Amino acid sequence: MVSQIGRTAFKGNEAKWKMRHPSDIAQPKFDPRRRPDDFVESLRRTTSNILNCSIRDVDVEVKKHYFAVSWRKSVKFAKYRSCLLHYRIRHVKEVTVTAVERCQRHLAKECRTSDVRVIKAIRFFVDEVIPVVDHDPDTKLVYYVRDPRGILLSRWSLSKLPLAAIPFSKIDQMAAYLCAKMRRDLKTALQYREDHPDQLLIMQYETLASSPVSTLQELYRFVGVGVPSDLIDWIQYATQAAKSDGMVGSIRKNGSEVSTRWQHELSPEHLRIIERHCDDVIDLIYSIPFGYR
């Protein structure tokens, strides 16, 4: 989700203020059946507080989470992290509520001086996010979709288990659940984009990997800001680097190779199981006209 105020482009660590969404913290094992009745309203309120820089009103557990206190990729969180270190009790690693209350002013200041604010959210459905977008017309939703074969291979790779060690019954279960979720989500996203083309952009992972510059230009056009020239230089470096920086890094020796890895690493039996549950989802993904119209 992106909330735009002013005309400054969001790039790297300088002109955007990015925060992991509290749903990533509250629901580590995603199961929509366990949502409390007031979840959507709570989501809307918390997201609105983040995007509008009402940091004091954001739940303290969000501001104590790993991504806020230890994730070093965000330069804009550096002063907040340093402040927390100052207030930590000797030999006690946990961040205290008192430390958060005294240091959150740094988050608020960085947020207020950023013209574009971004929340990366991965653990809820589009129809749970729509009330957030409807509530604030300055908020835009970027819906990022990937081939389920690539998603599942990525998840299995992160588990650090050899693919051969994962039972086919588990693969079957994961594929069925993932594509049931994607099927519902895609249909909702397409309908909302049909009704609100200026509020929702659908982006395909594979398109971004194979054509990063033109895809980013489309994204910036949707948000309504210009693409900084140095960002183009960084993208070209990040997708053609001398070496990659790990599974969860952002630097790749061959940016497009990651998106097609499943074609070489999944066996015919893996593909048969996945495609039995996901054929219609895969067809839908590759038939969608992506981009901002």
Domain ranges of the chain: 1-122
Coil/strand/helix, residue 254: coil
CB 240 within 8 A of CB 246: no
Q: pLDDT tens for residues 232-267?
A: 888 887 787 767 666 666 676 676 778 889 999 999
Global pTM reads: 0.79
pLDDT in tens, 4-62: 332 222 333 344 556 554 444 333 344 545 566 677 788 888 888 998 999 999 999 88
CA distance 121 to 94: 25
Helices (H), the chain: 23-26, 39-51, 60-64, 66-69, 78-87, 97-112, 126-135, 148-158, 168-195, 205-210, 212-223, 229-238, 262-265, 268-287
Q: What are the beta bridge partners of residue 210?
A: none
Residue 260's identity, in one-letter code, is T
| Cα separation, 182 vs 207, whole angstroms | 18
